[in-house]
Amino acid sequence: MSQLAGEPVHPATAVGNWRQSKPATLFSSREFAGARPHVLLIMLIALGALLLLSLALGSASIPFDQILRVLLSGEADQPAWTHIVLKFRLPKTLTAAFAGMALGVSGLLMQTYFRNPLAEPFVLGVSAGASLGVALVVLTTGVAGGALLAGLGLAGDLLMTAAAGIGAALTMLLVLLVAVRIQSIVSLLILGLMFGYLVAAMVSLLLYFALPERIQAYINWTFGSFSGVTNEQLPILAGLVLAGLLLSAALTKALNALLLGEDYARSLGANLQRTRIGIVLATALLVSAVTAFCGPIAFIGIAVPHLCRGLLASADHRLLLPGTCLAGACVALCASLIAELPGNNLVLPLNVVTALMGAPVVMLVVLRGAQGKL
Amino acid sequence: MTTQVLETLDLAIGYRRRTKGDIRLAHGLNLELQRGTLVGLLGSNGVGKSTLLRTLAGRQKPLAGRVLLAGQDLATLSPMALARRLSIVLTLAPQPRLMNGYALVAMGRHPHSDWLGRLSADDHETVAWAIKAVGADDLADLPQAELSDGQRQKLMIARALAQEADIMLLDEPTAYLDLPRRVETMQLLKQLARSAARAILVSTHDLDLALRSCDQLWLMSDAGIITGAPEDLVLDGGLGKTFSAAGITFDKRIGSFVLDPPAGPRVRVLGEGEPVLWLCRALERSGFTVCGDAADLEVAHRQNGAADTWDLRLNGRASAHATIQSVLDALESEPIWQTR
């Protein structure tokens, strides 16, 4: 116990040591030693570049200066270019960015809360709830009559969005009710998974009895897409996502405390009940908004938080929350660009691209984790 | 400044069940913790030590009675207000990835920092002080994953210290540590209780260590909790009673539990000093009863220059041995065991 020989004096009791409390610059302090906060800046620049790229690239080739002109003055040399940029590329680009942010952040919330590196927003059964809603609308309207049969047009799209949103929101409400009662994290995880199976079975049942063209419409929805959101719908998506992000930001400190486990988090003053509800609510807002407008988009939620921890070399949510936001948007924009490779009329399903990009990341994490364990 | 920081009034602890009635582990508890003292909580497995600690920490509701922290009812405190008065250390230290020791200890400032957990200059000073106080300066900048269990636990204690709560509750913090680390940890806690004026309650199975380092013991058994200075509890037999079990007895002379002597062959040991003490232990371990009046079996210790020599006399035959193992081997080959 030699190190205790010179007893350190507690700062509060040391005479003349008192000084005005003022917050130090956030990321400069010793607790962030080893972390790479400057990566956030790089992510921000990358996001800016990808946003422009997403506006500039598409099946129609528009000169880049014309794109800038549309953005700055709202008018290009050719009306068709203005139309393409403002009506198609801008909403698609912003949708991809908002969806990426929402999925990245909700993935981070789930992984921290469940203390499980493989948790993702959909483990709570959100996508299952959304898909049931969509399946009910798409697969049963044919039975109900011809009124909505032609409704794979605008009305049908709106109905599907609403069905997915309601399905996802109802699922989250259910999870919320359970989360308030059930204290055990593992129980909640298992209930979410079981709920997912239950709903998947109901969807299968609906598919089994559905008309082939209806099944095709349902499967198209499950592919996911950023192109279905109109300029009129965009504010709704953006509003829900921003609300979810703000709520997540308010949970920053509790999320950090949860890194030490529930017992320690509680002993550090975290209100676990409130935190649990906050996490479920934020995830509900983020994921049901995205699923309603873009379909069940896989892998961004699970891969982006791992990517950010690696890039930022930190587990601190003050870095990870903005990090997953930026990286999520970047990854979604990348996926969207790859899915609609320019100079090519072929459009790949979004989920194919995200899974092809995301699965290797998850595999890498699992393999590296297995090495690090022993 | 009053020194009493925690008090229980007719506290009953246990688990509530919807059917079949509550499980009541202890009741009528009137305990108190004073600033500047280290209290050891001892008791057999399953007697309710952890339940008591959880109840005192506000993690679990009491079945009856109240817990007062500096006169204020625990149940009325918000999580943040409670965190400013009471900190905990658990048996298993978490291993958060990508977090250095300093960041871990800085978590202790959560009850005092703003909504983002930003540290002021004062917070940084307190964190640095806590790290220094547990002697973990060299660990602060290392990633958690590279530390040993003992080092992590040291940082967890520093974190609890940085929380600046009057009360520290530790649930078997040394269970996974090796003996030197256990001694070190208990000494550290004793020192902190004094220098930082904390009231520290630590549950442990390390009886010997608790007897040597704690200012007070809480002995928990099915009959309730008895408290007092360790030495008083040894002398009045309270300690022996708390852990009473068939086959073991508390030996007041050496301050620890010993196995009841087996009724094996009786052997007389001649000589004194450390070699003889360890010879007796070897003989008892092998099933002999060491006593002064055995007639036909005798082992005598003789200093032979720097070496020890053991003279074994058995039924009139004598032999000399250089090691205790050799003595035991010689005894093993004799037919004395048939008399058992």
**Beta strand pairing call for B72-73 and B38-43:** unpaired
Cα–Cα distance measured from residue B101 to residue B152, given in angstroms and rounded to the nearest whole number: 8
Instruction: Give the confidence band of A154 by pLDDT, cuts at 50, 70, 90.
Output: low
pLDDT at A28: 72
- Answer yes or no: is pLDDT of B234 > 80: yes
pLDDT at A365: 66
Cα–Cα distance measured from residue A126 to residue A131, given in angstroms and rounded to the nearest whole number: 9
pLDDT at B247: 75
Q: Mean per-residue pLDDT for B55-64? A: 94
A residues 146-175 lying closer than 8 A (beta carbon) to B: none
Share above pLDDT 70 across residues of chain A, in percent, rounded to a whole number: 84
Long-range (24+ apart) CB contacts under 8 A made by B300-308 are: B300/B269, B300/B270, B300/B271, B301/B269, B301/B270, B301/B271, B301/B272, B301/B273, B301/B275, B301/B276, B302/B271, B308/B275
Which of A312-321, A359-368, B44-53 has the lowest average pLDDT?
A: A359-368
- Answer yes or no: is pLDDT of B77 > 70: yes
Is the CB of residue B311 less than 8 Å from the CB of residue B320?
Answer: yes
Find chain B residues with C-beta within 8 A of A316's C-beta. Answer: 99, 103
Q: Mean per-residue pLDDT for B61-89? A: 94
Residue with tokens 């002995």: B219
Cα–Cα distance measured from residue A41 to residue A326, given in angstroms and rounded to the nearest whole number: 10
User: What is the residue type of A280?
Assistant: V
Find chain A residues with C-beta within 8 A of B98's C-beta. Answer: 35, 309, 313-315
Which of A83-92, A336-345, B188-197 has the lowest average pLDDT?
A: A336-345
pLDDT at A308: 92
pLDDT at A10: 57
Q: Mean per-residue pLDDT for B185-211? A: 93
pLDDT at B149: 87
Q: CB-based contact (8 Å) between A262 and chain B?
A: no
- Answer yes or no: is pLDDT of A121 > 80: no
A76 vs B228, which has greater pLDDT? B228
Instruction: Give the confidence band of A344 by pLDDT, cuts at 50, 70, 90.
Output: low
pTM above the 0.90 mark?
no
Count of beta carbons in the 10 Å neighbourhood of residue A130: 32
pLDDT at B167: 96
pLDDT at A14: 45
Q: Mean per-residue pLDDT for A342-355? A: 81
pLDDT at A157: 67
- B98·A313 Cβ contact <8 A: yes
Q: Mean per-residue pLDDT for A308-313? A: 89
pLDDT at B42: 94
**Beta strand pairing call for B199-203 and B216-221:** unpaired
Instruction: Give the confidence band of A9 by pLDDT, cuts at 50, 70, 90.
Output: low
Share above pLDDT 90 across residues of chain A, in percent, rounded to a whole number: 30
- Answer yes or no: is pLDDT of A16 > 80: no
- Answer yes or no: is pLDDT of B210 > 90: yes
pLDDT tens-digit map of A190-246: 888 888 888 889 988 988 888 887 888 788 888 889 988 888 889 999 999 999 999
A109 vs A188, which has greater pLDDT? A109
- B188·A1 Cβ contact <8 A: yes
Q: What angle do CA B320, B323, B326 make, to 5 degrees?
A: 70
- Answer yes or no: is pLDDT of A2 > 60: no
A188 vs A300, which has greater pLDDT? A300
B156 Cα to chain A: minimum distance (Å)? 10
Q: Which residue of B has its CA nearest to A19?
A: B122
Find chain A residues with C-beta within 8 A of B79's C-beta. Answer: 266, 269-272
- Answer yes or no: is pLDDT of A361 > 60: yes
pLDDT tens-digit map of B135-151: 999 999 888 878 888 89
- B163·A9 Cβ contact <8 A: no
Q: CB-based contact (8 Å) between A9 and chain B?
A: yes
- Answer yes or no: is pLDDT of A152 > 60: no
Q: Mean per-residue pLDDT for A55-68? A: 86
pLDDT at A373: 38
- Answer yes or no: is pLDDT of B253 > 90: no
pLDDT tens-digit map of B287-316: 888 877 766 788 888 887 888 888 888 877
Q: What number is the ipTM of this complex?
A: 0.82
- Answer yes or no: is pLDDT of A145 > 60: no
Instruction: Select the residue of B90, B110, B141 nearest A268 (Cβ to Cβ).
Output: B110
C-alpha distances out from residue A335 to A57, A89, B104, Å: 13, 15, 37
**What is chain A's mean pLDDT, rounded?**
82
A22 Cα to chain B: minimum distance (Å)? 5
Residue A340: which residues within 8 A CB-CB, separation 6 or more? A57, A58, A59, A347, A348
Residue with tokens 């020599």: B309
Instruction: Give the confidence band of B338 by pLDDT, cuts at 50, 70, 90.
Output: low
Count of beta carbons in the 10 Å neighbourhood of residue B174: 24
Give the DSSP letter of residue A274: H
pLDDT tens-digit map of A238-247: 999 999 999 9
Q: Mean per-residue pLDDT for B46-58? A: 94
pLDDT tens-digit map of A18-51: 444 444 456 777 888 888 899 999 999 999 999 9
**Full DSSP string of A352-364:** HHHHHHHHHHHHH
Instruction: Select the residue of A253, A266, A316 nearest B79 (Cβ to Cβ).
Output: A266
pLDDT at A19: 42
